Amino acid sequence: MSHVNTLVIDEFDTFVDSGLEDNIRRLLDSYLAADGKRQVVFASATVSRQMRAMAQSYFGEEDSWDHPDSDFKRIVEKSTHMNLSNLNHEFIHIADFDKKKPLQLLMKEYKKYARKHNTSCIVFCNSVSSARAMEHALA
């Protein structure tokens, strides 16, 4: 890592949410300890409290991030998060317990609505194994 000038951690939210924060911290500690100027880029679709806390532990309080003298720069690209006018987004938070049963009940109700209104939906999963489990549960 001594010859690496810029470390990019893409899908940062996914790594942190997957319980890999300790691994990321070890990587950052090793990278930032090397001599020379270092740059770290976190790319993420979302920013959780846990991610903010981790960034603050390395780069100071969030209030200072947008200051011109700050070593940390936050860049938010709003145009990548635009909603299309014909789409309706609904987010339902389900606790960390088994999510299959609530999703099965929801989809049973939604199928009636979808047939009547000629519409569809997308269920997002955060891993291949989760997607396979949901496919099986909803079949």
Same domain, yes or no: 99 and 75: no
Same domain, yes or no: 59 and 100: no
φ/ψ of 44, rounded to 5, equals -155, 145
For the chain, what's the residue count? 139
User: Is residue 25 very low, low, confident or very high in pLDDT (cuts 50, 70, 90)?
Assistant: very high
Domain range enclosing 96: 84-138
- Per residue in 72-113, pLDDT (tens digit) is 887 777 776 666 677 777 777 777 677 788 888 888 888 888
Same domain, yes or no: 72 and 115: no
Same domain, yes or no: 72 and 95: no
Q: CA-to-CA distance for 47 and 129, rounded, in angstroms?
A: 24
pLDDT for the residue numbered 82: 64
Q: Is the pLDDT of residue 14 over 80?
A: yes
Q: CA-to-CA distance for 8 and 48, rounded, in angstroms?
A: 18
- Start-to-end CA span in the chain (Å): 47
Picking from 48, 80, 112, the residue at the C-terminal end of a domain is 80
Determine, yes or no, domain membership for 28. yes
Q: Structural domain tally of the chain?
A: 2
What does the pLDDT average to over 32-45? 84
Q: Supply the mean pLDDT for the chain.
A: 81
